[in-house]
Amino acid sequence: MDARRKLGQQGAAAVPPAAARLPRVQAGDALPLPIRHTNLIFSALFAVSLAYLMRRWREKIRSSTPLHAVGLAEMLAIFGLIASLIYLLSFFGIAFVQSIVSSSDEDEDFLGVGAGAPAPPAPCALLGSPAAAPEKMPEEDEEIVAAVVAGKIPSYVLETRLGDCRRAAGIRREAVRRITGREIEGLPLDGFDYSSVLGQCIELPVGYVQLPVGVAGPLLLDGQRYYVPMATTEGCLVASTNRGCKAIAESGGATSVVLRDGMTRAPVARLPTARRAAEVRAFLEDPDNFETLSMVFNRSSRFARLQGVQCAMAGRNLYMRFTSSTGDAMGMNMISKGVQNVLDFLQDDFPDMDVISISGNFCSDKKPAAVNWIEGRGKSVVCEAVIKEEVVKKVLKTDVQSLVELNTIKNLAGSAIAGALGGFNAHASNIVTAIFIATGQDPAQNVESSHCITMLEPINDGKDLHISVTMPSIEVRNNALVCMKVLAYLGLVLAIFFAYIMIGPTLILFCNKCSARILWSPMGYNT
């Protein structure tokens, strides 16, 4: 599916004249003097009062005068010290804070100034401020909007009736605005080819969202160099990935091995009795019947090839987990067709079998499940690398023993205490989701695709670091998105790459935690 962007001409953003902008209210406007002068006066008062009181305190000690015996000058000095201290603790630096706030506000005011530089839309849309007066629409569109609001025309038929996907999205958007009474803020409408997604990956569109895409690399994997796109709004994620890739490359790269490659689908059927369900199970798991089942299953596709059937029972309900290779495709529809062929075949021999659902959640798709963690789903991959001692010190700025200890205490013991399911890692979901979005994968399958266990071991007498990641259920597909073309990856290679790329950010996160940099790196984006 090719979701294309239309590169149309966009006008320059309207900029309000300077005279129309109201003067900003400063936090120090309530003071009689400018904030800078006020800070200077109280700073001097604090220093003078403190110096005078310290001098008088020393004189009283030398002359054995009681410290509580104070004169008028000393009382004034104490009052000045307390007053200046209160002021400095409460108000000093207010001009600095105000300057930051003001500069941020001014950036918003002048956003879009310059020829052909409209303000970029926000990455997400919200039903925000109360609806403003809408721009005037053509009379025909006004009638359609009114009909949609009144419920006379279903919103989902607009594309079919109008024959213009952009116009349908605009009318639907205006109808939502009128029904909710709220503006849809930060959600662009123009600049997208809505016909390219009609009937494919979205229904009832009212706009689109934009996410920045960064690139990390080069990745040295099995002797080849690659670059990878990552779509994210989390600061430091791409940078840490890039730095981790550097550490791996300088140590000679990583190697990979594919353990399994098979998508699963698990229908559920009900039999009259548990004994009857056990008979069907025995038939499916009998090796003598596998060739027949394969022939029935494989005729649905020239790519799908049945690998095995695993059954489980709950009373008289039978769950049948079919595993099949699917080529470079994700294969969900492909394997579902093959499963349906087998179910039809089984019902000829077991007419009392009632198929409840083509998916009985024993697959298990888009849900955390032990069956995926143990048996695998999609691509099961292991990647490993040896990080040299000098690279650990120079690039990661820590030592091997600290990294190994942190991995054991955090990723293994800590995750076990938390009762983690496939979560024996630092932040696999972060990287998987960023690459999923950038390469057009299904973000919902991040759930099982993020199953990962990270292992760190000292080798070569504790000088070098061996790191590996094992990911048993990476679910990816090849598609026509631009980022996938840049990568030139097929589904299997992309899965291997996922396991590889997990090593880099894991190393950086660990070394940051070992050196207490975990807070300060992202905080640079929040000051």
Chain centre distance of CA 248: 24
The span from the CA of 463 to the CA of 219, in Å, is 24
Q: With left for phi above 0 and alpha for psi between -120 and 50, is residue 165 left, alpha or beta?
A: alpha
**β-bridge mates for residue 456, sequence order:** 467
Say how many C-beta atoms besides its own lie within 10 A of residue 457's C-beta.
15
Residue 322 has phi, psi (to 5 degrees) of -90, 135
The DSSP secondary-structure symbol of 134 reads P
Instruction: Write a three-state SS string for 279-328.
Output: HHHHHHHCHHHHHHHHHHHHCCCCCCEEEEEEEEEECCEEEEEEEEECCC
Residue 22 has phi, psi (to 5 degrees) of -75, 145
- For residue 520, what are the CA distances in angstroms to 216, 438, 512, 523? 21, 27, 9, 5
The span from the CA of 203 to the CA of 211, in Å, is 20
Domain 267-357 fold: Alpha-Beta Plaits (3.30.70)
The closest of 388, 437, 387 to 238, measured between CA atoms, is 437
Q: Looking at the domain that runs over 213-260+376-523, which CATH code has it been given?
A: 3.90.770.10
The span from the CA of 216 to the CA of 408, in Å, is 27
Using only C-alpha atoms, the chain has a radius of gyration, in whole angstroms, of 33
The DSSP secondary-structure symbol of 163 reads S
Q: Which amino acid is at 417?
A: I
The closest of 412, 451, 457 to 259, measured between CA atoms, is 451
Annotated domain spans of the chain: 35-95, 126-197, 213-260+376-523, 267-357
3-state SS class at 229:
strand
The span from the CA of 385 to the CA of 148, in Å, is 59
Residue 29: the pLDDT is 52
Terminus-to-terminus CA distance in the chain, angstroms?
40
Contacts of 3 (CB under 8 A, 6+ apart): 193, 196, 197, 201, 440, 481
- For residue 452, what are the CA distances in angstroms to 204, 380, 411, 415, 445? 36, 10, 10, 12, 14
Instruction: Write a three-state SS string for 462-496.
Output: CCEEEEEEEEEEECCCCCCCHHHHHHCCCHHHHHH
Half-sphere exposure of 387 (CA within 13 A, CB side): 33
Q: CB of 256 within 8 A of CB of 382?
A: yes
Residue 66: the pLDDT is 79
The closest of 296, 268, 335, 321 to 477, measured between CA atoms, is 335
Q: Which amino acid is at 247?
A: A
The closest of 412, 415, 403, 450 to 431, measured between CA atoms, is 450
Chain centre distance of CA 176: 28
Which token pair is 407?
Answer: 């991995």
3-state SS class at 418:
coil
Contacts of 93 (CB under 8 A, 6+ apart): none
Which token pair is 40?
Answer: 């200077």
**β-bridge mates for residue 459, sequence order:** 464
Average pLDDT by stretches of 10, the chain with 527 residues: 42 39 48 69 84 83 76 84 80 52 41 39 48 71 95 95 95 95 89 91 93 90 87 90 90 91 96 98 97 95 94 98 90 93 96 96 94 95 93 91 94 96 92 90 93 95 94 83 52 56 68 54 49
The DSSP secondary-structure symbol of 116 reads T
The span from the CA of 23 to the CA of 241, in Å, is 44
Half-sphere exposure of 101 (CA within 13 A, CB side): 10
Do 213-260+376-523 and 267-357 come out as alike in CATH topology? no
